Each structure stands twice: as C-alpha cells, then as structure tokens.
C-alpha cells in the first residue's frame, strides 16, 4: 500500500490533476466564507485554500493506495476525496446557516465531479481517435474552469444574502445534486471502457446544466420572496410615518383646545378666589392638573425627528402598559436623513416593546439611550427577555414570532442604514436583558 501511495505522486499526480484539485479547493473556500475585504482576509483565504488543496491531494493518494488492497475504491478516489473535503469544510469551517451550507456544498460537489468526469471522458474520446492523452490534457483543464466560473457566479448571486432558505428549495437542490452524484458513481459500473462514451458525456452536460439551473431558480425564488417581504416592511414603515404625523397633528389640535380651555378655567378660578372659596378652588385646581397631564410632551430634545419618533413610541408603548425610560442628548441637526432616523428608531424600539411584552415581569419597561459621541450618534435600546427563549434567534431578529422573516428584513434595513452611515449594529444578551446598540457617523446622508 505504501508503494501505491508513492506511485500516486509519481504517476497520477500531474499538472492537470493539480489544476482540478486547485479549482475545486478555491471554489469551496470562495463560496463558504465571506467576501475578503482586507489583507488579513487575503492571508486567511490563502491559508485555507492551501490547507484544502493539500488535504484533498492526500485523501486522493490514500484512496488510490487503498484500491491496491480493496478493488472497490479503484477509480473513485477523485469523487470520494471531493465528497470528504466538501463535507468536512461545510460542517466545521463555515458559519453560514445550515441550509445555505447544504445547498452551496452539494452544488460545489456536484459541479466538481460532473465536470471532472466530463473532462476525463473528452480526453478519452480524443485518445480513442489515435491521439496521445498528454497532448490534449489542456482540454480537461479547460472544462475544469467551468467549475470556477460557476463558483464565481454563485458568489455573485449568493444565497447567503438570505438568512434562511425555504425547505422546499433546499430539498430540490439536494435531490438534484445527489442524483448527479449517484450517476457519477454508477459510471464506474456502467461505463468501464477507457475509451470514453459520447452518451455519458451528454448525460454529464445535462446534469451540470440542471444543477446550475436549480441553483439559479432557488436564488430567483429567494430574491422574489425577499423583495415581497421588503415591500411589506417598507409599507409598515410608511404606516408608522403616517401614524407619527397623525399623532403630531392630534397633539397639536389638543394643545389648541387646551389653550382655549385654560382661558375659561382661569376665569373660573379667579371668580372662586375673589369669593374666598379656597377649598373648591384647590379641588378644581387638582382636577385641572390631572386632566392636563396627558398633554405633557414626553420628549423635547430640540431635534424634531427624534422627538416625534420617541413620542410616538412612548404613546404606542403606553397603550400596552410599557414604560420607556429615556436618556437623550442630541443636537437639533445630526446630518442623518429623517427617513433613516425614523426607520432605525422605529425598528429597534418596536422590537424592544414586543420583546418585553413576552416576559413575565410585573412592570414592563424599555430603556432608551440616544446621544452623540464625538462625530457619531449612539443608540442603545434595552429590554428584558425570558431566559428560556431561543438566544440565537433573538440575536438575529429579537423575536420568536411566526413572522420572524419580516423581522429579519427589518433587521436588514437597520443594518443597511447603519452601514450607509459608516457605523455598526450589535446585538447581545446580558443578565436577562437584550441589548441593541447602533453607532452611526453623523454628517453623512
């Protein structure tokens, strides 16, 4: 077996083999990790690529050597090594959601084994026509490039834009890719000729096209669903804007009524005072104070947008017996668009109100801090949670409701706003309290 292992590197390991493994390794690392945005990221990517490449070469050599003892493994070292490397990398070296990893990993594996075998079949067909294999090895390498092109396409239209893929879409892609693998492995039983087979080449091309098409169909499906849900979120935010304006108009009208009432009340109190009816005057004054409490403005920071949004949220929270404890220190102008300020505050505060209402606390409250720190706007919203809730889902959406997808898009809207203003959003849980912190650079619209 050791001699066979050594012979693998002396006989099998050629530049065509190296290109095939390099393409598959590069595609796998490219798809299963975030986009590289720094020199450190380039170094990490290169190290992972090198490790995957070496691992696949060694696994290939192992199965090649094992075939000298167990004939079953003869000729299947390539697909088996691809399968093992892809499975291990998907399971342990990617942080994407499980369904995304299954779809991406199985698609990389299917395209790798289909195109690798297609390249080998084409070279065999050329060889059967009387041409030496080594003169046309570049043809198989040309076919291998389609693995890389497909990987680049999948990165461009990435499913990782979507937090969780539909189960039906995931199952569809898995079935197609598993079928491709079954056809590939059965090739060794059905087509044992070393001269290639035209029919099998057509089958491989057809399966590859189906694999590419299924991935694109799933992506289009997710994008359409994403867009529909985004529009629903946009409509909710527009409704919130409308409600805020209605509340402001209503408050203004009530203030006008209050001003008119106060003139009459002053006349009544003056009459009681002049007649010495001090007991009645005190009772009347107390009742008037109680009536006017509801007209007091909750927040008056001088920034009209933050005042309007927080006042709207205070009224909304009060309807559910939730108290909002706020600490706000901001200038009248922040250099952040009204729409962006409204959307980020409405999303974070609505989620906090919904979150605290799910607890068993006797008194519901939400803590809100909004202040400027140097050239940045700092927003921190905190609410109590039940410790038995799914923390991972909370950290993604701060919700356990059935419409968590909508909340996920609300989170994406917040994230997009924060990134547009060169900031960040962070969610954490500390001592039974969910904390949402956002920092936005001011002066940029």
Q: Which residues pair with 428 in a beta bridge?
A: 435
Average of per-residue pLDDT across 416-445: 84
Give residue 281's pLDDT. 73
Distance CA 407, CA 396 (A): 9
Residue whose pair of structure tokens reads 């026509």 in the numeric block: 129
Please tell me the pTM assigned to this model. Answer: 0.58
Q: Who's near 77: CB < 8 A, 6+ residues apart?
A: 59, 60, 61, 62, 63, 64, 67
Residue with the larger pLDDT of the pair 306 and 11: 306
Could you tell me if 321 and 364 are in contact, meaning their C-beta atoms sit under 8 angstroms apart? yes
Q: Where are the domains of the chain?
A: 2-232, 299-445
Give residue 440's pLDDT. 92
Q: What's the pLDDT band for 179 if we cut at 50, 70, 90?
A: confident
Of 37-46, 298-307, 404-413, minimum mean pLDDT range: 404-413
Average of per-residue pLDDT across 1-25: 77
Give residue 236's pLDDT. 64
What Rg value do the Cα atoms of the chain yield, rounded?
Answer: 33
Pick the CATH number of 299-445 from 3.30.565.10, 3.10.310.70, 3.20.20.80, 3.30.497.10: 3.30.565.10
Distance CA 327, CA 380 (A): 10
């Amino acid at each position: 077996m050791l001699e066979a292992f050594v012979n693998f590197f002396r006989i099998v390991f050629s530049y065509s083999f190296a290109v095939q493994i390099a393409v598959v390794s590069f595609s796998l690392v490219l798809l299963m990790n975030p986009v590289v945005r720094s020199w450190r990221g380039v170094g990490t990517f290169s190290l992972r690529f090198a490790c995957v490449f070496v691992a696949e070469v060694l696994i290939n050599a192992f199965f090649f050597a094992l075939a000298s003892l167990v004939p079953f493994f003869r000729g299947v070292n390539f697909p088996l090594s691809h399968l093992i490397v892809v499975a291990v990398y998907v399971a342990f070296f990617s942080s994407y959601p499980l369904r995304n990893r299954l779809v991406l990993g199985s698609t990389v594996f299917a395209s790798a084994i289909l195109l690798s075998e297609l390249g080998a079949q084409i070279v065999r067909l050329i060889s059967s026509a009387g041409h030496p294999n080594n003169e046309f090895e570049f043809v198989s390498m040309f076919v291998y490039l389609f693995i890389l092109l497909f990987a680049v396409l999948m990165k461009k239209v990435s499913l990782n834009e979507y937090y969780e893929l539909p189960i039906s879409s995931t199952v569809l892609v898995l079935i197609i890719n598993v079928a491709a693998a079954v056809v590939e492995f059965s090739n060794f039983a059905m087509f044992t000729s070393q001269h290639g087979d035209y029919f099998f080449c057509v089958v491989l091309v057809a399966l590859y096209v189906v694999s590419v098409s299924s991935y694109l169909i799933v992506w289009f499906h997710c994008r359409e669903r994403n867009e529909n849900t985004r529009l629903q979120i946009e409509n909710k935010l527009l409704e919130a804007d409308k409600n805020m304006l209605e509340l402001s108009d209503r408050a203004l009208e009530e203030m006008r009524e209050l001003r008119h009432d106060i003139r009459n009340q002053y006349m009544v109190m003056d009459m009681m005072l002049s007649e010495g009816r001090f007991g009645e005057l005190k009772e009347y004054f107390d009742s008037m104070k109680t009536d006017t409490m509801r007209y007091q403005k909750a927040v008056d920071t001088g920034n009209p947008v933050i005042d309007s949004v927080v006042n709207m949220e205070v009224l909304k929270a009060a309807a559910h017996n939730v108290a909002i404890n706020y600490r706000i220190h901001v200038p009248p102008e922040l250099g952040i668009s009204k729409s962006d300020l409204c959307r980020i505050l409405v999303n974070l505060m609505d989620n906090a109100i919904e979150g605290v209402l799910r607890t068993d606390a006797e008194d519901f409250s939400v803590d809100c801090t909004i202040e400027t720190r140097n050239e940045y706007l700092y927003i921190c919203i905190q609410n109590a949670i039940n410790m038995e809730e799914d923390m991972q889902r909370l950290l993604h959406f701060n919700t356990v409701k059935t419409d968590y997808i909508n909340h996920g898009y609300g989170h994406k809207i917040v994230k997009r706003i924060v990134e547009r203003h060169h900031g960040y959003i962070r969610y954490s849980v500390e001592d039974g309290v969910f904390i949402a912190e956002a920092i936005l650079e001011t002066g940029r619209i």
